[in-house]
Amino acid sequence: MGPAELVQAAAMARRFYLEGKSKIQIAEEFGVSRFKVARVLETALERDLVRIEIRVPAELDAERSDALRARYGLRHAVVVESPAEAEESPDPENLGEVAADLLGELVTEGDVLGLAWGRSTIHMAAALDRLPPCTVVQLTGVYDAGTAERGSVEAVRRAAQVSGGDAHPIYAPMLLPDEATAAALRNQTGIARAFEYFDKVTVACVSIGSWEPGISTVHDMLSDEERAHYASLGVAAEMSAHLFDAQGRRVGRDLGERCITVEADRLRRIPEVVAIAGGQRKAAAIDAVLRSGLVTSLVTDTAAADFLLTAGAAPRPALQRADPDD
């Protein structure tokens, strides 16, 4: 390109990329066809006269995020850089912070937000600083009723405080000794009122656990004999007291009868279910839950994403909400 062509190309590029003018407007200004403008802009890119740089905050990995969204057919996938101690920490707090920002985008006024028990959702609630007016309901009982003030109940209260909406916590353990005790608790007034909101939930946040000590709430609440029993069924992941094998099929469904939790069928009907989980130790469990058809979006880290992007055969698109058992 000669000097005149360079000057003209620079001017056209400035109009298009910086001033936001259309190719037709530029063509009219310079007295050429819009096809000529398109060729000049294309040449400007090829000759390095124009450089396009896509920048996102340093902690976000846009390339992995888009690849993960496409692979699993998710609505949203957000991948953040793993902290240095990722191998030791299965629930990096930065996931909760990013999830809080995502929730600020997804929730609209009048929505019903559901929060399941999990360290990741608790971190997310603590990081919330904006939410439109919405109702907040707890989707599961707590890991230990004695820690309710520092766990799910407090997370629900925090989210409701930020949004200015009503809170519907559940003051009960997640896992009960038997089906009869669980059924009795579900009929208690406060818990029954929360359950009535389950079919109204429009956005839900859940955590994921792998089947090992310290990584799965349910695993840690069971006896050695019970753990061995469910392990024999091939359990690879746990979410909201629902167990899944490596292909995303639900196993050990009898456990749900002893739990205070949102049913899987109800979860499947919620328009937006965001899972928050990361770390190498949870990667296979995340893959299993994404194959279940219960989750529509994911917040994770690079350690888990690298595994997920190469894990087994390509899954069915998550947005189909298909049950692997069907």
The amino acid at residue 268 is R
Question: Which tens digits make up the pLDDT trace of 170-204?
Answer: 988 899 999 999 999 999 998 999 999 999 999 99
C-alpha to C-alpha distance for 307 and 310, rounded to whole angstroms: 6
Beta strands in 71-124 (DSSP E): 76-80, 112-115
Percent of the chain with pLDDT strictly greater than 70: 93
CB burial of 145-177 (b: ≥16 within 10 Å; e: otherwise) equals eeebeebbbbbbbbbbebbebebbbbbbbbbbe
Using a 10 angstrom Cβ sphere, with 0-12 exposed, 13-18 middle and 19 or more buried, the burial of residue 30 is middle
C-alpha to C-alpha distance for 322 and 326, rounded to whole angstroms: 8
Say if pTM beats, i.e. exceeds, 0.85.
no
The amino acid at residue 108 is T
CB contact at 8 A, 236 and 244: yes
Residues near 198 by Cβ (< 8 Å), separated by ≥ 6?
114, 137, 139, 262, 263, 266
Using a 10 angstrom Cβ sphere, with 0-12 exposed, 13-18 middle and 19 or more buried, the burial of residue 44 is buried
Question: Which tens digits make up the pLDDT trace of 267-300?
Answer: 999 999 999 999 888 999 999 999 999 999 999 9
Question: Which tens digits make up the pLDDT trace of 65-81?
Answer: 999 999 999 999 999 98
CB contact at 8 A, 136 and 260: no
Using a 10 angstrom Cβ sphere, with 0-12 exposed, 13-18 middle and 19 or more buried, the burial of residue 309 is middle
Query: Residue 57's pLDDT is what?
Result: 59
Query: Residue 147's pLDDT is what?
Result: 45
SS3 34: helix
Token pair listed for 150: 């520092």
Residue 318: pLDDT band by 50, 70, 90 thresholds? very high
CB contact at 8 A, 131 and 107: yes
Q: Name 299's bridge partners.
A: 78, 276
Query: Residue 146's pLDDT is what?
Result: 45
